[in-house]
Amino acid sequence: MKILVTGGCGFIGSNFINYLLKKYPRIKITNLDLLTYAGNLANLKDIEKDRRYKFIHGDIIDGRLVNRLMSEKPDAVVNFAAESHVDRSLYKPADFLSTNVFGTQVMIESARQHNIKRFIQISTDEVYGSLGLKGLAFKETNRLDPSSPYSASKAAADLLVKSYEKTFGYKAIITRSSNNYGPYQFPEKVIPLFITNAIADKPLPLYGDGLNIRDWLYVEDNCRAIDLVMRKGMPGEIYNIGGNSERTNFYITKTILKLLNKPLLLIKYVKDRPGHDRRYAIDISKIRKQLNWQPRYKFEEGIRKTVDWYLNNKKWWKQIKTGEYLKFYRKHYQT
């Protein structure tokens, strides 16, 4: 099987590539990545000499490049490429529209022109907006109600992908996962930020009252789900992927500090960000029934594995927490 992955040097993309290469001896993967601040070749260092793997430095907005890669007739295209950090979208929304919307249009149009049979658009549960605090969970049929420029750009991309089915008969598949965490996550996201700050005895900036709720999904579980969707998912369908692990931000903060034997005094409550959704929860009954998938990791097991990874890979994240990232972090978290 021949796969074209975009954004494969990012967090989920790199975990997905590593997962596929370990599981399938005969697979061939091309990874197209622009290597923006969150794309890191070190995420794939262990497989860079693997003959089954090829890296292409480039932008999904580059139509000529995308068309050349599509002309190689991959069996499937998995589009991870995206600007993904909500906080950044508040300050540079145009970057999110460019990659997440216009880039997706270039990708799906090229896939249609080259008659690629399997196109997987990687999306997010944030396109649904915020839930109440009692019993509800997002189904694939929920209306889209995004709250940030990031989630709005992903919702726009989803609608664009669906429009290709109605207009051209080109049936792509969309996955919408809950909050991922695990190895190789760029340390601007809450879990790696809090882990690395706690290791260094620096404050953990907790938004608002800390009681916002997210469903947490260990990245390996998401990779298994995307692999199943890529191989067995129904064209034109949307699949929610969740971890069945709803936790408050305060709970995850407290858990991280406990695992690292650090004091709660490191918690620093900061002003809540604009449009901060109160709760997300994912109904995974569709993917469970159709593809027999369910998460293997509860949050307490996954977070322990994640903390251990960051403890054992300090060189990786210490090199990252410099330069452009550090400038952004100091401006928006240490005020």
Domain count, the chain: 1
pTM above 0.85, yes or no: yes
Check pLDDT > 80 for residue 19: yes
293 lies in some domain: yes
82 lies in some domain: yes
57 lies in some domain: yes
Domain range enclosing 42: 2-181+218-242+278-297
32 lies in some domain: yes
56 lies in some domain: yes
Q: What is the pLDDT of residue 37?
A: 72
**pLDDT single digits (tens) 41-77:** 999 999 989 999 999 999 999 999 999 999 999 999 9
Q: How much is the average pLDDT of 269-282?
A: 84
Nearest to 193 by CA among 307, 279, 301: 307
Please report which confidence band the pLDDT of residue 1 belongs to, taking 50, 70 and 90 as the band edges.
very high
311 lies in some domain: no
Active site residue 125: yes
212 lies in some domain: no
Task: Please identify which of the residues 33, 87, 126, 188 carries the catalytic annotation.
Answer: 126
Task: Please identify which of the residues 83, 125, 158, 220 carries the catalytic annotation.
Answer: 125
Task: Please identify which of the residues 150, 164, 218, 239 carries the catalytic annotation.
Answer: 150
Please report which confidence band the pLDDT of residue 133 belongs to, taking 50, 70 and 90 as the band edges.
low
127-135 contacts at long range (C-beta below 8 A, 24 or more positions apart): 127/151, 127/154, 127/155, 127/158, 127/176, 128/176, 128/280, 129/277, 130/277, 130/278, 130/279, 130/280, 131/277, 131/278, 131/279, 131/280, 131/281, 132/278, 132/279, 133/213, 133/278, 133/279
Q: What is the pLDDT of residue 134?
A: 67
330 lies in some domain: no
Q: Tell me, what CATH number does 134's domain have?
A: 3.40.50.720
Active site residue 215: no
Check pLDDT > 70 for residue 282: yes
DSSP run (H or E) holding 104: helix 104-113
Rounded to an integer, what distance in angstroms lies between the CA atom of residue 114 and that of residue 83? 26
